[in-house]
Amino acid sequence: MSKTFSIGGIHPNDSKFSKDQAIEDLPIPKRVFLPMNQHLGMPSVPVVKKGDRVKVGQKVADPAGFVSAPVHASVSGTVTEVALYPDFQGKRVTTIVIETEGDEWLESIDRTQQVKQEITIVPEETFRKITEMGIVGLGGAAFPTHVKLTPIEGMAPEYLILNGSECEPFLTSDYRLMIEHGQEILIGAELMRRVLGTNVNGIIGIEENKPLAIQAMKKITANYLQWKVVPLKKRYPQGGEKQLIDALLQRKVASFALPISTGAIVQNVGTAFAVYEAVQKGKPLISNVLTVTGSDLSVQENYRFRVGTPIQDILEAAGALDKDGKLLSHFVKVVNGGPMMGKAVVNLQAPVVKSSSGLLLLTEKETKRREPGECIRCAKCFQACPMRLQPYLLYQLALAGRTEELDEHRVFDCIECGCCLYTCPARIPLLDQIRLAKNALLKNKRKK
């Protein structure tokens, strides 16, 4: 009997159309845009200026504190600008622009394809490298990895959970990574496990709709005593940190508590791969894997991209643009991420960042929201909510601006997974208002 989390959840069609496309290297972009807010926390501080020449892997921005991460050049060339540029949502972010010239890498980076299996490095050194190489969580939130690996007093880690569930429909980047680079992922995970402590157990959670990945990872874990693969039932949002801990360990993370309070730390498989590259090969986080997909079967790709590549370039390579560089007419919307939690792209010139996992092309039929109806208190949203919140109530409180009651009804527990919105038969924009109220409350709290 496969495991899964105990509260709520939905079963969207998984639509993993691009799962058989092997990972391809994208051509090196002519120009990259490196935003300073590619992680959660304080934006990085640029250390290069206009006119500087940089090599691939060279640091171009320093972290601005503990919860922050450095940024490295993903191409070699000349810095042409350090200025405000709109990101994929049109918000302005300090961005370093590098014009590509050749492909010259730092000498310290090992560029051979050979898998470096033996771990010779001490955990302290691993931790230092993870911090310096700008590794962030590649599951979506882009939380700096070194922060998660920092011990907190009184909370001893017992389990390191590797998140290979990839519960977002359409996306297949983690899946391809597990199939093609399972060995590297496990070395990266083992490195992180050693940082946490030798008595920590490793679990890899993979959803059942990826039998090949389960098989591949099981084969590799045979050589690693502390690691085991656990198949999970297909259910969204299995990949949520709190849901995964519940599914694998049957432990609940309390409101406002960190996952480590249950003794578990969750890392994405992509992050483990990045850790492998950083520690064993000396390569900073300058590339990642992303899926270009959609229900239109003509565009299905898994690409390894350089961080900072404009979205336009990726779509062009995937064949989603016409001769004039415009989106093909049957695609009306590009979503950065998966269909559940991804955000619509309004600026195709904007770059993909460290934690980008997919570009989803939607057709007219898929994008139009229908007119919302009236709430009949059917409680479907309540059933679907994996955090056991009452979305319809939060929605109404948010509309009425009753902020104190929102707090009482645990609005901060909302993980914005979108299950309520997906399941609502009246198509009420529940999450829109809840997210708004949550952010407004957060701003108020910070002021105080």
Partner 1 sequence: MTSTLLYTVLILSLLGGVLAVVLYFIAQNFKVQEDPRIDQVLEVLPGANCGGCGFAGCRVFVETFINNPNRTDLFCPVGGNQAMQLAAKVLGREAREQVPKVAVVRCNGSCEVRPKINEYDGSPSCAVVADLYAGERACSYGCLGLGDCVQACMFDALVIDPVTCLPVVDEEKCTSCGACVTACPKNLMELRPKGPKNRRIYVACSNKDRGALARKACPVGCIGCGLCVKACPFDAITLTDNLAYIDPDKCRLCRKCVAVCPTQCILEINFPPKKQDTAHE
**Residues in contact with partner 1 by the rule CB under 8 A:** 84, 86, 89-92, 332, 343-344, 346, 367-369, 429, 432-433, 435-436, 439-440
Nearest residue (CB) to partner 1, 25 versus 432: 432
Minimum Å distance from CB 288 to partner 1? 23
Closest separation in Å from C-beta 439 to partner 1: 5
> Kindly report the CA angle at 368 between 365 and 373, in degrees rounded to 5?
125
Which helix (H) or strand (E) element contains residue 318? helix 311-318
Q: How far is the CB of 87 from partner 1 (least distance, A)?
A: 9
- In one letter, which amino acid is 147? V
Min dist. Cβ of residue 382 to partner 1 (A): 20
- Length, in residues, of the chain: 448
Which residue type sits at 395? Y
Q: What gap in Å lies between CA 64 and CA 41, rounded to an integer?
A: 9
Q: Which helix (H) or strand (E) holds 367?
A: helix 364-367
Taking the complex as a whole, the smallest distance from the CB of residue 91 to partner 1 amounts, in Å, to 5
Residue 106 CB, shortest distance to partner 1, in Å, is 34
* DSSP β-bridge partners for residue 292: 301, 359
The residue (of 65 and 90) whose beta carbon lies closer to partner 1 is 90
- Min dist CB 372 to partner 1, Å, is 8
**Rounded CA separation 232/70 (Å):** 35
CB of 420 to partner 1, least distance (A): 14
Beta strands in 149-286 (DSSP E): 159-163, 201-207, 227-232, 264-268
CA atoms of 422 and 403, how far apart (whole Å) = 25
Helix (H) or strand (E) holding 61: strand 59-62
Is the Cβ of residue 90 or residue 425 nearer to partner 1 in the bound state? 90
Residue whose CB is less far from partner 1, 81 or 316: 81
Cβ-based nearer residue to partner 1, 265 or 353? 353
Smallest separation (angstroms) from partner 1 to the CB of 332: 8
For residues 368 and 388, which CB has a smaller minimum distance to partner 1 in the complex? Answer: 368
Residue 400 CB, shortest distance to partner 1, in Å, is 13
Alpha-carbon gap, residue 100 to 56, rounded angstroms: 10
Nearer to partner 1, 368 or 445 (CB): 368
Give CA–CA dist 126/260, Å, rounded. Answer: 20
Name the residue nearer to partner 1 (CB basis): 109 or 344.
344
Upstream peptide bond of 237 is cis (omega within 30 degrees of 0): yes
CB of 360 closer than 8 Å to CB of 320? no
Q: What is the 3-state secondary structure (H, E, C) of 100-146?
A: ECCCCECCCCCCCCCCCCCCCCCHHHHHHHHHHCCCECCCCCCCEHH
Q: What tokens does 339 get?
A: 């269909």
Residue 399: both structure tokens together? 């509309």
CA 369/CA 378 separation, integer angstroms: 20
Beta carbon of residue 89, minimum distance to partner 1 (angstroms, whole number): 4
Residues near 9 by beta carbon (within 8 Å), at least 6 away in sequence = 235, 236, 237, 238, 243, 384, 386, 419
Write the DSSP assignment of 349-386 as a string of letters.
Answer: TSBP-TT--EEEEEEHHHHPPPPP-------HHHHH-T
Q: Which helix (H) or strand (E) holds 72?
A: strand 71-72
Nearer to partner 1, 92 or 377 (CB): 92
Q: Closer CB to partner 1, residue 32 or residue 348?
A: 348
Q: Residue 155 or 346: which CB sits closer to partner 1?
A: 346
Task: Look up tokens 């191409």; give the residue.
Answer: 75
